[in-house]
Homo-oligomer: A and B are copies of this chain.
Amino acid sequence: MEEGVQVMTTLKDIAKEAGVTVMTVSNVINGKYDKVSKSTVETVTEIARRLDYVPSATARSLVAKSSRLVGVLLPATKDEGIFLSTHNVAVIGVIERLLREKGYYLLLRGVSAAEGVSGTLRSWNLDGAIFIGFLDSEIQQMRASFDTPLVVLESYAAHGDFMNVRLDDRRGGYLATHHLIQNGHRSIAFVGTHKSERGVDRERYEGYLEALREAGITGDPVTLLSHAVSYSNGVEAGTKLRREHPEVTAVFATADQFAVGIMDGIHSLGGTVPDDLSVVGFDNLEIAATSRPPLTTITQDLNRKAATAVDLLLQRLQSKRDQPGETILDVELVERKSVRNLKPA
């Protein structure tokens, strides 16, 4: 028994069986009932259902402007594939649902800096795209090669022809640091990535500095930077802090992975969090709630971020209005158990 080539029912098949033209069937399928008699509508509809007709999206997108396809692009390296952080994943999940609800399809694609992006986007005649997790420089470069409506998450690119959705990272950095200060800490270290790597860290750093300044804390703060966000880089930072900077009583880390790593680093050297070191993270990932101690961190509304991205894109697709610019989302401090209060009650 052959599996058989996919035998798609086409409009033609229906037309033949109904004894009308393909065009008439097309009108029925698309609900243009004003061109067709009631009885024909019924006949055709019945036959279509019976033959299990499904319209060909490829044929449609060939003739129409719209393909109903939205690309979600993420950075990828040749060897490791796309980078799916817990965080990005949650966002993609929400994006998928929203697009699906609106009748759009999602093309997921990793992009390695080298190959560029234009092929993918243009080839499939995408209606729009969402970029997640790219560096500003990459975005600029990619944007040049195509002109589909575009939403970018977490960009600090100066100005591009796209809609940008990001957190108020600066305020996040401020809130975290301010919280530590309010708990009596004065020597507060910063753990993040090299500023050139992530625009978000640059902003979080600014917020951190602002809080210090506001509290009148001067002098060069202890700053530990790594190239990538990871638990193990956090552990390294934690051990380094304990060994080389005993004066530091608190840390603000720009990612929960860092923060949890730092805590474990301290523990591994016999210290205790928050007794020996207070820690505040950023992102409120799952690990922040289940770490020991539970991590005080900055949280954001992932659902809202994803929803905003999709809404902006779809509005743009439907109304043809141009609305580039930034949408900045609020952040909040979530208090758990990783900060010690140094002020006597």
Known: A67-B58, A80-B97, A125-B6. A106 touches B107 (CB 8 A): yes
A58 nearest CB across to chain B (Å): 5
Q: Can you tell how many copies of this chain the complex includes?
A: 2
* Chain B residue contacts of A325, Cβ below 8 A: none
Could you tell me if B100 and A92 are in contact, using CB atoms closer than 8 angstroms? no
Could you tell me if B6 and A122 are in contact, using CB atoms closer than 8 angstroms? yes
Please tell me if A341 contacts chain B, counting CB pairs below 8 Å: no
A62, B8: Cα distance in complex, Å: 12
What count of chain A residues pass the 8 Å CB interface test? 61
Could you tell me if B52 and A118 are in contact, using CB atoms closer than 8 angstroms? yes
Please tell me if A108 contacts chain B, counting CB pairs below 8 Å: yes
Could you tell me if A109 and B119 are in contact, using CB atoms closer than 8 angstroms? no
Chain B minimum-CB-distance residue to A85: B89
Could you tell me if B118 and A96 are in contact, using CB atoms closer than 8 angstroms? no
A122, B57: Cα distance in complex, Å: 9
Interface residues of A in 132-187 (CB under 8 A from B): 145-149, 161
Chain B minimum-CB-distance residue to A71: B105
Could you tell me if B231 and A290 are in contact, using CB atoms closer than 8 angstroms? yes
* Chain B residue contacts of A149, Cβ below 8 A: 3
Which residues of A pack against B, CB within 8 Å? 3-6, 8, 52, 54-59, 61-62, 65, 67, 72, 76, 80-84, 86, 89-90, 92-94, 96-98, 100, 105-110, 118-120, 122-125, 145-149, 161, 231, 260, 264, 286-287, 290-292, 322
